[in-house]
Every structure is written in C-alpha cells, then in structure tokens.
Chain A
Amino acid sequence: MNAKRTMITIENQELLKAVEGYCAQGYRLVQICCVKETEGLVLHYTFDKDYDLIDLSINIAEGDPVPSITTIYPCAFLYENEIHDLFGVPIQDINVDFKGLLYKVTVARPFNPAADPAARERS
C-alpha cells in the first residue's frame, strides 16, 4: 500500500498549536523520541492516521523548557517522563508527573550526561 511518511521540522513555540491541529484532524500519537546531537537535542513527535505517518521534530538547546502535550494527548505522560529521566529535558506541566522517579537510576540523565561532573550525581 502507498503509505505516506512525512518529516517536518518546526520551532519549539509552534509545538502545541501544531499538535492540537493533528489531534483535531484525528491523528493518534505514536511515539515521542529524543536524540542527542553534538549541539543540543532533537525531539521527534510521531503521529499517525490510517497508516500515514507524520514526524514533527523540534530542535532544543540544553536546558530549554518544553511544554507538555498531555493536555491534548493524555497518554503522552510515559514518553515525557522517560525523556525527562534519561535525557534531562525539562518538560513542564505533565499530567502524571513522576518527578524523576519513573526510572530509578543511580546516575542522573544517563543518556545525556551533564558536562559538569558534579552535576552527574543523582540529586
């Protein structure tokens, strides 16, 4: 079958509006993924409807706050908590916030270690 796969890059501020647009059109959330680049991080939000996939990516710098999409897709809380625990991205206003205790890791942000060695100790 001819399933479409589109990858779009947008700005951090446009995220909530774009996600609301997809929800209104009937898309379901597939995954949220975080990739560590040499400079900063990229967050991928993937949506799907009738086998057509849309991947939204936003580029953020270290420590940039990102709004949570759980107001639109309540099931996104697990992905956002995981990204917060493993990469240290400060996602704000998650509906079910585990406050860093979803994965009880001994080293903070294991997939994106902080440059400062003192900050690597689990707070």
Chain B
Amino acid sequence: MSSVSPSKHTVIPFGPQHPVLPEPLHFDFVLEDEKIIDVIPSIGYVHRGLEILASKKEFTEFVYVAERICGICSFIHGMGYCEALEEIMHIEVPGRAQYLRVIWSELSRVHSHLLWLGLAADAFGFENLFMQAWRAREGVLDIIEETTGARVIFGACKIGGVRKDIDGDTLKRIADVLNNLQSDVQAVCDIFLKDSSVKHRLCGVGVLSREDAYALGAVGPMLRASGLAYDCRKLGYAAFSDINFSIVTETDGDCYARCSVRIREIYQSFDIIRQAIAKMPGGEVCAKFKGAPDGEALVRFEQPRGEVVYYVKANGTKFLSRFRARTPTFANIPAMMQVLKGANFADVPTIILTIDPCISCTER
C-alpha cells in the first residue's frame, strides 16, 4: 500500500460513457497523483436478463435469442447453444455442417479481431489505422453476407446442423478473396506491430504475470499473452479435431504481447479456413430430430475473447429450465483489475482496449 494518507487519494469514475470506451463498463479508480492504486468495477448497464428467456421461449426458437447476446461474438453463441442441445438430445451433426461451422466461426474471429484492432488504434489516437482496419474488415463481412445472408447476426446455426450450405464454387471464391484480404490485413498489422510510436505506447505497459493470469482465471488472448498455451479449440469441438493449428502465445504479458497474439491469430484463422475448405466433405448440412430435450450439458468453446462455457439444463418439456453462458470478459474482469493497479491514468484506455472487453456478453 502507499505511504501517503488516504486523504490525498482521488476517486475518478471512468465510463460507462467515455469518448474512447467502446463498451459500457464502469470503473472507479482510486488515484494517487497519476498512479492507480485501486480499482472497483461496476457492471450491469446492459443487463437484459436473457438467461431467463430460456424458460419462456421454445428451445428451437431460443437459438435466435442466444445469437443476440452479443453482436461481435454472435455466431459462436448460437453454435454453442446448438451444440449443447445436440449433446443432450444425442443428435449426430453431419460432417459438412461441422466444417461449415468451423469456417463461419473462424470468419467471426477474423472480423472480431479486425474490429478490435481498429478500436485499439483509435484509443491511443491512431485514427488512420482504425479506418484501414475497418476497411479490411468489410471484405470479411462481404463474404459472410454472401454465405449467410446477414453481416453481423448470421442466423446460420440451428439444432442439428446449419441452415444454409455453401457450394464448391463459392468456397473456391472465398479462398481467393481471403488471399487478397491477407495482403491488405498484413499491411495494416505490420504497421501496428512495427511502428515506433505504437511500440512506445504499448511495450512494458499493463504487465500481467503468468502466475497471476492463471490464479485470477484469465482466459483467451490475455492468458496466452502471459505465456500459458490454452486454447479451447484443442478440445476438438465442431471439426477442429481434424484441423492442424498451433496455439499462439507470447511471454511478456504486456499490452504489446496481447496485441501481437490477436494479430497472429488473424493469420492463423485464415490458415484454418483454407484447411477447412480443402477438407470439406460432401453430404447433408442438417440432421432431423424429434422430441424435447431432457438432461444437462456443460460445453466449452473458444470465442475471439477467450473461453466461453455454456451450461444447459432441460427437463423434458419444450422450455429449458436453465441456460447459462459464462462469457470470457466476465472471467477477465479480476485480471483486468490486477493489470490496472499500478498503471498510469493516461494508459487506462490503452490497457482496457488490449483486454478487449465485450460488455453485452458479460451482462447478457
């Protein structure tokens, strides 16, 4: 603790509305001069009580609600809900549907990381890079619109498989578009990683040690940037058991390491999509099922922000008795508080954005 008496401390509220903050979260910072000594988080500004809707909407219709928990992480929420129910009802999802789910979830990851890249650049004033990153993101959104019919909330998953198929010609075209996109994205990301002014703002700032990251329950790129190789895609859900990829880690644990992990994951996602397109089997895209679910399931997926856990409990009627989504930002908040303590107040927007908060997921 500090040697200055508490009367010299200032308490400054940060959020929920703030010019650099993309998400409505609220922190109360206890400051001594410019250094942060303590952080008190406050969430709940966009709490919509979506989990209780599970007992009011039929389980086949709830997939639309699950997708709308968050706009950026939307596809994986829908997919997670469907896979949890497929496990309870013992539905065998066809192979082609599994590969399509892999392609869409990796496109979702690329779109989320490019969106984050733009916001992170905007947070420390680099608006030009913000616009370039979002322009590259438009290429990904066009692919998504051509294959699912919508840009952000895909509406592509249903229990038993997926709602739309992608034919062979479109898949080849997607592979070509991604190759062109990769060179655009590479140009933008190289600037981010190598520019001297960006490095000056990010290196050595907001360090999270390996032991703290594990003990505080951090997930996703926050955990991987501190040196722990942990990625839920290695559990082999959907078709990930057939895809070769290695877990992206860094060891420094500072803001620069977190940014570098996300950027390398973009390139890795391009590679995963290419592998999935090459290995795509033929066949149906949806399995039929009858009846109502009865039982419980606990499944885990890798969202762009980290590990998401779904717990579904069904009681044999067409309304579920409990649906719970433990989203990655909810687990990252204690680690976020640890990183912010001891930082300068001017670095706060940069640190919060490298953690990549998604508050609509956190509060559902």
Contacts and interface: CB of A to CB of B under 8 A. Distances in A.
A and B touch in their complex, CB below 8 angstroms: yes
A31 B43 CA distance: 17
A36 B331 CA distance: 22
A77 B235 contact: no
Contact of A55 (B47, B234, B298): B298
Contact of B322 (A5, A36, A74, A110): A36
A113 B217 CA distance: 31
A110 to B, nearest CB: 6
A33 B330 CA distance: 13
A31 B325 CA distance: 10
Interface string A87-122: 000000000100000111100001100000000000
Interface residues of B, number: 32
A101 to B, nearest CB: 9
A44 B217 contact: no
B217 A51 contact: no
A29 B217 contact: yes
Given A33-B311, A35-B313, A51-B235, A111 B52 contact: yes
Contacts of A7: 298
A77 B334 contact: yes
A78 B330 contact: yes
A103 B334 contact: no
B44 interface: yes
Given A28-B215, A35-B321, A77-B334, A53 B326 contact: no
A3 interface: yes
A75 B334 contact: yes
Contacts of B241: 1
A78 B236 CA distance: 30
B309 interface: yes
A111 B298 contact: no
Interface of B: 40-44, 47, 49, 51-52, 214-217, 234-236, 241, 298, 300, 307, 309, 311, 313, 321-322, 324, 326, 330-331, 333-335
Given A35-B311, A78-B330, A102-B44, 8 more contacts: A30-B309, A31-B331, A33-B324, A46-B309, A51-B235, A75-B335, A78-B334, A103-B47
16 contacts: A5-B298, A7-B298, A30-B326, A30-B331, A31-B309, A35-B311, A35-B324, A44-B298, A46-B298, A73-B217, A74-B216, A75-B331, A102-B42, A103-B43, A103-B44, A111-B52
Nearest 5 A/B pairs, CB to CB: A75-B334, A31-B326, A103-B44, A75-B217, A35-B322
